[in-house]
Amino acid sequence: MDRSTKNRTTVFVYGTLMSGERRHAALSGQQFVSDAKTDHRYRLLLIDDYPGLVDASDRKGNSITGELWSVDQSCLSRLDAIECVDDGLYERREILLVDSIEHAEAWFYAQDVVGLKDLGSDWRSR
């Protein structure tokens, strides 16, 4: 593995970190990989004014639209802080993608989802 890819993580972003969204600046200096879609086993829910990705418990999920980014460890730590991983708001773990050879991680909402609005497959279509 060459030095340019060592210690980098591919992440799937689906909401406020996407290009053109309010927190996209947190990815400044990182490498855009491609647009991407997840497997059909997830749901995208509205949490206040931002989205939350969850596993589809009813097995009737959506293929969520997002972007893949290759990020360095410093950026990954910054993104974990933005997503409040240490506080238990989100957890970062592997996500299954379609039409991609990339191994990627994403932030999953880790709180109660009862009563939250389903956003379908794309945060930008809200």
pLDDT tens digits, 30-85: 999 999 999 999 999 999 899 999 999 766 899 999 999 999 999 999 999 999 99
Q: Is the dihedral of CA 14, 17, 19, 23 positive or negative?
A: positive
Claim: this prediction has a pTM higher than 0.85:
yes
Cα–Cα distance for residue pair 123/46, rounded to 1 Å: 9
Residue 125 placed within a domain: no
Contact 61, 121 (CB under 8 A): no
Domain membership of residue 93 as a residue range: 8-111
Residue 122 placed within a domain: no
Q: CATH number for the domain including 62?
A: 3.10.490.10
Cα–Cα distance for residue pair 19/11, rounded to 1 Å: 14
Residue 54 placed within a domain: yes
pLDDT tens digits, 4-34: 457 899 999 999 999 999 999 999 999 999 9
